[in-house]
Amino acid sequence: MSQKKITKKELLVKAAEFDLKGVQKLKKEGLIHAIQIAEGNDACFTNIQNCAVSPCLYRAECQTA
């Protein structure tokens, strides 16, 4: 099952849900890490090869990087 890649605009909306400040200037990877931490997760995006975590919002991009 393939997922679509998430856009930076979608990430900024999600960051706003967590009231994250100053994230607009972050690159996409840094923004995803900030959101993962705010969610209470490890900042694992692109850091784990062959990740088995599912479902994951970022998997479509993470495991192809």
* pLDDT per position as a tens digit, 10-54: 999 999 999 999 999 999 999 999 999 999 999 999 998 888 888
**What are φ and ψ of residue 48, in 5° steps?**
-125, 120
Residues in the chain: 65
pTM over 0.75: yes
pLDDT at site 52: 83
Distance CA 38, CA 18 (A): 7
